[in-house]
């Protein structure tokens, strides 16, 4: 009876501390609890009429399963609980995939992020779970870190997918697949790059962009032994526009000229 109480107590403690985890992680404790309970009931009711101490049979099995569960899942360890908490609270989507391409675990963010894309996660074959998203499946099965664009503009999302091996005794046991939504970061990088390379007023390339592209074009021309022409333009009497109509209208003139140049001339 004491063993049953201890087993059920361990199960309850583990369940309360790890309610987010899948039933697979606590299956062994559940079986141990059921085994001990069955042994107690058989010993009490003796349904088969045999004088057998069923607890003597079930108790060692229960003890063995509890010991295996403690050793395998280390669920009484603070370090294990901390790892579990970090796994579940991670802001990136994380999948644990076996060598046979079986999803063995995933965190809340993975379920949420992929659920928004119409991909409903479950522990099972990677091909079946992602059969509706072949682009995602191909990227996940590719061992290299990569970037995936999903959807069409203006709702297109960009994801970074990284893969890390789960090693044990120098042997790969599977992979940790991390999926990170980098759409906002990607858009910010585009804006920063544009701010660094484009004049805000005219919308044309600034000096930095001109020098970089100029060097590239000159190298290409030299390699092809081709000719290159440089056209220089100037706005005559622009100061008069600012003086007579104000700097705001002068800015509008620059902006209009920039649009006209981009419309009628091809920019390399």
Q: 102 with 173, same domain? A: yes
Is 240 within the bounds of a domain? yes
What is the predicted pLDDT for the residue at 126? 92
Q: 159 with 123, same domain? A: yes
Rounded to an integer, what distance in angstroms lies between the CA atom of residue 231 and that of residue 213? 15
What is the predicted pLDDT for the residue at 20? 47
Final residue of a domain: which of 44, 77, 110? 77
User: pTM score, two decimals?
Assistant: 0.56
What is the predicted pLDDT for the residue at 64? 82
Is 130 within the bounds of a domain? yes
Residues of the chain with pLDDT under 50: 20-21
What token pair was written down for 50? 């045999």
Tens-digit pLDDT profile for residues 136-145: 899 898 888 8
Final residue of a domain: which of 123, 156, 185? 185
Final residue of a domain: which of 77, 102, 124? 77
Q: 164 with 108, same domain? A: yes
* Nearest partner of 110 among 176, 179, 19, judged by Cα: 179
Is 83 within the bounds of a domain? no
Give the domain CATH number at 229: 3.30.70.270
Q: 137 with 68, same domain? A: no
Q: 71 with 117, same domain? A: no
Boundaries of domain holding 213: 198-264
Radius of gyration of the chain (CA): 33
Give the domain CATH number at 170: 3.30.450.20
- Give the DSSP H/E element, type plus range, for residue 125: strand 124-125
Nearest-5° angle of CA 130, CA 110, CA 83?
130
Is 163 within the bounds of a domain? yes
CA-CA distances (angstroms) from residue 213 to 202, 209, 216?
18, 6, 5
Q: 155 with 178, same domain? A: yes
Is 30 within the bounds of a domain? yes
Is 245 within the bounds of a domain? yes
The DSSP secondary-structure symbol of 75 reads T
What token pair was written down for 153? 């503009």
Helix (H, G, I), strand (E, B) or coil at 93: strand
Is 84 within the bounds of a domain? no
- Number of domain units in the chain: 3
Q: 33 with 111, same domain? A: no
Rounded to an integer, what distance in angstroms lies between the CA atom of residue 179 and that of residue 164? 12
Q: 109 with 178, same domain? A: yes
Nearest-5° angle of CA 203, CA 205, CA 209?
150
Q: 125 with 70, same domain? A: no
Q: 60 with 117, same domain? A: no
Rounded to an integer, what distance in angstroms lies between the CA atom of residue 43 and that of residue 183? 63
Q: 229 with 207, same domain? A: yes
Is 191 within the bounds of a domain? no
Q: 258 with 221, same domain? A: yes
């Amino acid at each position: 009876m004491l063993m049953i109480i201890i087993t059920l107590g361990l199960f309850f403690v583990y369940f309360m501390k790890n309610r987010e985890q899948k039933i697979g992680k606590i299956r062994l404790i559940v079986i141990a609890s059921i085994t001990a309970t069955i042994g107690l009931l058989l010993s009490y009711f003796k349904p088969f009429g045999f004088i057998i101490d069923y607890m003597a049979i079930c108790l060692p099995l229960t003890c063995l399963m509890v010991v295996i569960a403690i050793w395998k899942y280390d669920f009484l360890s603070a370090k294990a609980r901390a790892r579990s908490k970090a796994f579940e609270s991670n802001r990136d989507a994380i999948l644990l995939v076996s060598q046979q391409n079986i999803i063995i675990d995933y965190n809340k963010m993975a379920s949420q992020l992929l659920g928004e894309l119409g991909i409903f996660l479950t522990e099972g074959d990677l091909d079946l779970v992602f059969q509706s998203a072949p682009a995602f499946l191909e990227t996940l099965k590719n061992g290299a870190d990569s970037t995936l664009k999903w959807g069409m503009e203006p709702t297109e999302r960009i994801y970074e997918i990284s893969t890390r091996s789960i090693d044990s005794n120098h042997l790969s046991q599977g992979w940790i697949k991390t999926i990170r939504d980098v759409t906002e970061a990607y858009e910010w990088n585009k804006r920063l790059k544009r701010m660094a390379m484009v004049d805000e007023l005219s919308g044309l390339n600034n000096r930095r962009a001109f020098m970089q592209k100029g060097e590239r074009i000159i190298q290409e021309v030299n390699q092809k032994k081709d000719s290159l022409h440089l056209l220089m333009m100037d706005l005559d009497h622009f100061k008069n526009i600012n003086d007579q109509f104000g700097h705001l209208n002068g800015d509008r003139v620059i902006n209009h000229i920039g649009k006209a140049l981009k419309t009628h001339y091809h920019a390399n």
